[in-house]
Amino acid sequence: MSSVREQLEKLREEIRDHQYRYYVEAQPVVSDYEFDQLMRALEALEQKHPDLVTPDSPTARVGGQVTGGFPSHTFQEPMLSLDNAYSFDELEDWGRRVAERAGTGEIDFVAELKIDGLSVTLIYEAGRLEMGITRGDGRTGEVVTSNVRTIRSVPLRLKRPESVEVRGEIFLRLEAFRRLNDERDAEGLARFANPRNAAAGSLRQVDPASVARRPLDFFSYALLPHRPSQSEDLAALTGLGFKVNPNVLRTGSLNEVIEFCRAWEDRRDTLDYEIDGVVVKVDSAFLQERLGSTAKAPRWAVAVKFRARQATTRLVDIRIQVGRTGALTPVAELEPVQVSGITIRNATLHNEDEIARLGVAIGDRVLIERGGDVIPKVLKVVETGPDRRPFQMPTHCPECGSEVYRAEDEVKSRCISQTCPAKVKESFLHWASRKAMDIDGLGERLVDQLVEHGLVRDISDLFELADKRDALVALDRVGEKSADNLLKEIGATRMLPFSRVVYGLGIRHVGERTAQILADYFHSMDALLKAELAELEQVAEIGPVVAETIYRFVRESHNRRLIDRLRDFGLRMVMDGPAPDRPEQVFAGMKIVLTGTLLGITRDDAKELIEQRGGRVTSSVSKKTNFVLAGADPGSKLEKARKLEVRVVDESEFREML
Q: How far apart are CA 499 and CA 575, in angstroms?
A: 7
Per the CB < 8 A criterion, the answer to whether 130 and 60 are in contact is no
Residue 114 annotated as catalytic: yes
The DSSP bridge pattern shows strands 84-85 and 301-305 to be parallel
Q: Which is nearer to ligand IVH, 119 or 229 (CB)?
A: 119
Interaction residues for ligand IVH, span 457-476 (CB under 6 A): none
Binding of residue 301 to ligand IVH (CB under 6 A): yes
- Nearest approach in angstroms of CB 456 to ligand IVH is 49
- Nearest approach in angstroms of CB 62 to ligand IVH is 9
Neighbours of 605 (CB within 10 A): 11
Q: Which is nearer to ligand IVH, 80 or 518 (CB)?
A: 80
Pick the piece of the chain touching ligand IVH (CB under 6 A) from 114-122, 381-389, 415-423, 582-590.
114-122
Note the Cα 395 to chain centre separation in Å: 33
Half-sphere exposure (CA, 13 Å, Cβ side) for 94?
25
Binding of residue 237 to ligand IVH (CB under 6 A): no
Per the CB < 8 A criterion, the answer to whether 247 and 264 are in contact is yes
Neighbours of 387 (CB within 10 A): 7
Selected from 31, 57, 81, 220, the binder of ligand IVH by CB under 6 A is 81
Binding of residue 223 to ligand IVH (CB under 6 A): no
Q: Which is nearer to ligand IVH, 112 or 165 (CB)?
A: 112
Whole-angstrom CA distances from 299 to 87, 291, 532 are 17, 6, 65
- Site map for ligand IVH, 164-183, x if CB under 6 A? -----x--------------
- Which residue's CB comes closest to ligand IVH? 119
Q: How far apart are CA 116 and CA 169, in angstroms?
A: 8
Residues linked to residue 293 through DSSP beta bridges, in sequence order: 298
Q: How far apart are CA 531 and CA 538, in angstroms?
A: 11
Instruction: Exactly one of 114, 380, 412, 425 is catalytic; name it.
Output: 114
Q: Which is nearer to ligand IVH, 199 or 436 (CB)?
A: 199
Binding of residue 230 to ligand IVH (CB under 6 A): no
Q: How far apart are CA 592 and CA 607, in angstroms?
A: 9
Binding of residue 19 to ligand IVH (CB under 6 A): no
Q: Which is nearer to ligand IVH, 119 or 499 (CB)?
A: 119
- Site map for ligand IVH, 409-428, x if CB under 6 A? --------------------
- Nearest approach in angstroms of CB 293 to ligand IVH is 7
Interaction residues for ligand IVH, span 180-209 (CB under 6 A): none
Q: How far apart are CA 628 and CA 634, in angstroms?
A: 10
Residues linked to residue 304 through DSSP beta bridges, in sequence order: 85, 278
Per the CB < 8 A criterion, the answer to whether 297 and 83 are in contact is yes
Q: How far apart are CA 316 and CA 328, in angstroms?
A: 19
Q: Which is nearer to ligand IVH, 301 or 397 (CB)?
A: 301
Note the Cα 571 to chain centre separation in Å: 33
Q: How far apart are CA 473 and CA 15, in angstroms?
A: 61
- Nearest approach in angstroms of CB 285 to ligand IVH is 13
Q: Which is nearer to ligand IVH, 141 or 371 (CB)?
A: 141
Pick the piece of the chain touching ligand IVH (CB under 6 A) from 79-87, 121-129, 256-264, 432-440.
79-87
Binding of residue 112 to ligand IVH (CB under 6 A): yes
The DSSP H or E segment spanning 209 is helix 208-212
- Nearest approach in angstroms of CB 123 to ligand IVH is 16
Binding of residue 78 to ligand IVH (CB under 6 A): no
Note the Cα 76 to chain centre separation in Å: 31
Size of interface with ligand IVH, in residues (CB under 6 A): 14
Q: 234 in helix, strand or coil? A: helix
Per the CB < 8 A criterion, the answer to whether 494 and 569 are in contact is yes
Pick the piece of the chain touching ligand IVH (CB under 6 A) from 111-119, 608-616, 617-625, 637-645.
111-119
- Catalytic positions are 114
Contact residues toward ligand IVH (CB under 6 A) are 80-82, 112, 114-115, 119, 169, 221-222, 279, 298, 301, 303
